[in-house]
Structure 1
Amino acid sequence: MSTASRAPYAPLKGSQLAMGTLALSLAVFMNVLDSSIANVSIPAISGNLGVSPQQGTWVITSFAVANAISVPLTGWLTTQFGQVRLFMASILLFVISSWLCGMAPNIEMLIAARILQGAVAGPMIPLSQALLLGSYPPAKSSMALALWGMTTLVAPIMGPLLGGWISDNYSWPWIFYINIPVGLFTAWATWSIYRKRESAIKALPIDKVGLFLLVVWVGALQLMLDKGKELDWFSSGEIILLTVVAVIGFIYFVIWETGQDHPVVDLSLFKGRNFSAGVVAISIGYGLFFGSLVIMPLWLQTQLSYTATEAGKVMAPVGIFAILLSPVIGKILPKVDARKVASVAFLGFALVFFLRAGFTTEVDTITLLIPTLLQGAAMSMFFIPLTSIILSGQPPDKIPAASGLSNFVRIMCGGMGASIMTTMWDSRSTMHHAHITEHTGSSSQLFVQTVQGLNQQGIPDAGAYALIDRIISVQASTMAATDLFYMAAFMFLGLIGLVWLTKPKKSSIPVDAGGAH
């Protein structure tokens, strides 16, 4: 059956709409949560399974690689199986793979289960977006995106908090078992509401070469990003090889896909100005945001002696304004230009990072919390208008492909942002440490006085030197972190110009996309 021949379904109403929104949002929450929940549990997992923490990080890497490969396949898979069937299969396979993760007796089985979990999780986010847009009348599409966006904002923050709490109070398999009841409820609710709202199916030939090239270049790029810091980047032959494979694979992939009638990833979407500029803006912004989510807790724990739970509490309030303001933004967005809302979001992010650039080693909790709270307000105005711009003008049958491709680029940029920012943090910490130590030694009166003062407290020279080096390290790391915050602030200001390259007629998803089914 041709997709074009299927008329849009009528929007859902009442309890069905509420239940459908809850089910779709829970699926996204479960998915996004699982990409971050294992991060703080790696020491517990690797210790329990008798492997090094470095080997334990493959629990994160394997999920990320499989997920990154499967997300852009959503458009093609949807035409083959239909939105509802694919979404149901994705949820149920996710539940099964979560159970397998918890049952894994060794690291090899756990990694295999995580690969399966990441692969089946891919279509869940873009399909939930498409099904949700089809559940609401076109005029309410911004509200639908607001409700959907709240879950993607809160889950990355909840993941480390929940993962740490479960690992401390129970055992690590429970970070995976908690998906089972959530997944089963989501599957039941989705099937009961959406089984008669299936999208049209077209049997398209599989682009085997395109699929192979996608797996090769995305897999190589993700491995390079994940292992780069550990292997000291381009001083490692393995990293150089992965980079070459990723670059050549990507070039061949683009050339091949642009010449196909039925490409595995629809790159023609980038011909649209709204799609391409919107995707670049949301991806760079997300990369900066995600990078800071990694840097902040690391800095608090390694340099300022915060515990994991305390660091989590400092980061958690970001969700407060995000949750409170998202429905408000969703309500006002159809009445205003989405570009203006996105611009305010980027100004908000710039302010947040300028405030963080003023942090010192003596920073108190209140000073840490103020930018975190403000960041929540900026986040509420970030995802919704940019997603609205990206999907504006797309016909219903293109929405899963457009959503899948934009989410793929955003997720990849999140990983790149985390890798690049942690690497820059390390290198600038080393640089600042070297500059500060130039002012130590016997020629520095302050240094000599400090050592003598510590000697008088009963600390021998070796201990005094070690203590001073620790103070210098904390100062250098703090200066490096504030350098990155300044850089992020100016980059967010630059993204405002990118937003104004788009030309939305109005900020809500157009009428023809309201029946995205």
Structure 2
Amino acid sequence: MAVQEDFKPFTGPTLLLAGVVLALTNFMVVLDTTIANVSVAHISGSLGISSTQGTWVITSYAVAEAICVPLTGWLAGRFGTVKTFIFGMLGFGLFSMLCGLSNSLTMLVACRIGQGLCGGPLMPLSQTLLLRIFPKEQQGQAMGLWAMTTVTAPILGPILGGTISDSWSWHWIFFINIPIAALCAFGAHRLLSPAETGTEKLAMDKIGLALLVVWIGALQIMLDIGREHDWFGDGLIVILAIVAAIGLVVFVAWEITERQPIVDLRVFRHRGFTVSVISLAFAFAAFFASAVLIPQWLQSSMGYTATYAGYVTAFTGVGAVAMSPIVAKLIDKVDPRGLVCFGILWLGATSLLRVHWTSGADFWTLAMPQLLQGIGMPFFFIPLTTIGLGAVEPEETASAAGVMSFLRTMAGAIGTSVATTLYANNAVVARSEIVSKLNADPTSAAMQAGGFSLDQVRSTIEQTVTQESYAMAINHLFLLSAIVFAFAAMIIWVSPRPTRAVEAGAAH
């Protein structure tokens, strides 16, 4: 694949087809972050595992993707942007096939990790190549195309995942990636070869990468298996916690002193960047955790199919699509800190709307907070990126964007693990509280007088107590989420107002 030094942007049908290939790739990778959310119940039932273990399918992908994102620049510089893109696409397709063929949790999680490692670079690379092949005057349209796929994929993910899981089987949420990956890899090879970038033998921060994998891996495994192992009452969890803590300290020390770090932590010297990342991490952790848990609760306690759980959760994207153009116009006219504060407080308010959900809630009672939540999403993401990247030096923008993407993805994975554990523990506590106040004798007598047998009475009471305990548990989580959102909204005012504009595309 030759490198064309005097590369000129594409025109005509070639530009159109290449743009479609890149947009479709980005759509598929983003889709896979949400398509499994509503399929956890199907996967758990098929593999004979708990719903808590089922969420490992989501967190393993997110963590692997987060680890690989900082490597994107090195991979593109060492092997070429187009080659890296094609091999990532082929690897994503291969691991998607293996995910669909998995017959055990171990195999599925391992293949999801492979999927995340291959898919991690595809999102930033698709954007890089779009900016490269489109003429300067059309790059705004290119970013609009890219943004459209980024926003619409999370809407269709839950609907598609639910429909496929109910109509066929959960395996097909992975199999559908195979023809798309093959088509995009072939299209990239035929169309994008002239856009290949130069390569050079770049030094790699191998020690930094190893430390990154060790401490993140130990932390995520600890969070995922902690509940089953009685947390710090188990020696394995204690060891994992020590490894994660020591690994993090050594990693930070190494990266600060390394000349070419795998993650450039020096960008944290800018107060605006540090504050925006803290706000982003807390808010996204609370948001993503609810996106994972709501479908589980709907299916396990409310009797929803995966398809209808997908319809409920997909409403978030509708509001986001509608408000994104408005926020883009406001960003230059209004203090972005005010937009961020408004957006995150709005997310907190929608969490409070969910605090009063009951086991008798109808479809629109459940869907309306999702729709309203979507309205606040662009106010949260777009200005927060402007504040963070606008606070660093222009030459640090790429590194800062990589760090933001890495920490956002990690926050989502960690938030999901923590929320899943709290959800299960809260359900146990709520069940104890209900049972302690339950006077079963009058209820039992009334039901038996109505013709129920004693076994039917006990089964009905048991089912009701379980259903209500999980409703109380998820309500507690929504209240906690509202508090987290409030903190994330207020801390943004510690950041100074950005002093420079951020170039289109730098956010990703």
1:425 corresponds to which of 423, 426, 435: 423
Judge conservation of contact 1:335–1:507 (CA < 8 Å) in 2: no
Q: Please name the residue that 2:445 is paired with.
A: 452
1:487 corresponds to 2:480: yes
1:92 corresponds to 2:90: yes
TM-score by length of 2: 0.84
1:245 Cα deviation after fit: 1.5
Q: Please name the residue that 1:216 is paired with.
A: 214
* AA at the equivalent of 1:487: L
Judge conservation of contact 2:208–2:251 (CA < 8 Å) in 1: yes
Q: Please name the residue that 2:256 is paired with.
A: 258
1:187 Cα deviation after fit: 4.2
* AA at the equivalent of 1:262: Q
Judge conservation of contact 1:385–1:507 (CA < 8 Å) in 2: no
Q: Which moved more, 1:349-358 or 1:338-347?
A: 338-347
Q: Counterparts of 2:182 and 2:86 in 1: how far apart (Å)?
A: 10
Judge conservation of contact 2:423–2:473 (CA < 8 Å) in 1: yes
Q: Which moved more, 1:228-237 or 1:34-43?
A: 34-43
Judge conservation of contact 2:389–2:507 (CA < 8 Å) in 1: no
Q: Please name the residue that 2:463 is paired with.
A: 470
Q: Counterparts of 1:169 and 1:296 in 2: how far apart (Å)?
A: 21
Q: Please name the residue that 2:342 is paired with.
A: 344
1:68-115 alpha-carbon deviations (Å, 9 max, x no partner) = 321222243344344444333322332343345446688776555443
Q: Unpaired segments of 5 or more residues in structure 2?
A: none
Aligned positions of 1:94-109 closer than 5 A: 94-102=92-100
RMSD: 3.7
Rate the CA distance shift 1:397–1:136 in 2: closer, same or farther, 3 A.
farther
TM-score by length of 1: 0.83
Rate the CA distance shift 1:330–1:141 in 2: closer, same or farther, 3 A.
farther
Rate the CA distance shift 1:23–1:166 in 2: closer, same or farther, 3 A.
same
Judge conservation of contact 2:151–2:320 (CA < 8 Å) in 1: yes
What SS does the corresponding residue of 2:204 show, helix, strand or coil?
coil
2:71 corresponds to which of 73, 78, 82: 73
1:439 Cα deviation after fit: 2.4
Q: Which moved more, 1:213-222 or 1:117-126?
A: 117-126
Rate the CA distance shift 1:402–1:137 in 2: closer, same or farther, 3 A.
farther
1:174-216 alpha-carbon deviations (Å, 9 max, x no partner) = 3233223433444466567765555665533222221211111
1:273 corresponds to 2:266: no
Q: Unpaired segments of 5 or more residues in structure 1?
A: 1-5, 442-446
Q: Please name the residue that 1:283 is paired with.
A: 281
Aligned positions of 1:170-319 closer than 5 A: 170-187=168-185, 201=199, 203-319=201-317
Q: Counterparts of 2:77 and 2:132 in 1: how far apart (Å)?
A: 16
* AA at the equivalent of 1:321: G
Q: Larger RCO: Structure 1 or Structure 2 (Cα < 8 Å, ≥ 6 residues apart)?
A: 1
What SS does the corresponding residue of 2:496 show, helix, strand or coil?
coil
What SS does the corresponding residue of 1:336 show, helix, strand or coil?
coil
1:252 Cα deviation after fit: 1.1
Rate the CA distance shift 1:23–1:233 in 2: closer, same or farther, 3 A.
farther
1:53 corresponds to 2:49: yes
* AA at the equivalent of 1:269: V
1:502 corresponds to which of 475, 478, 495: 495
* AA at the equivalent of 1:359: W
1:189-246 alpha-carbon deviations (Å, 9 max, x no partner) = 6567765555665533222221211111111122222223343433333322222211
Judge conservation of contact 1:66–1:116 (CA < 8 Å) in 2: yes
* AA at the equivalent of 1:311: A
Q: Please name the residue that 2:353 is paired with.
A: 355
Q: Which moved more, 1:267-276 or 1:182-191?
A: 182-191
Identity value in percent:
41
Q: Counterparts of 1:133 and 1:340 in 2: how far apart (Å)?
A: 30
Q: Please name the residue that 1:444 is paired with.
A: none
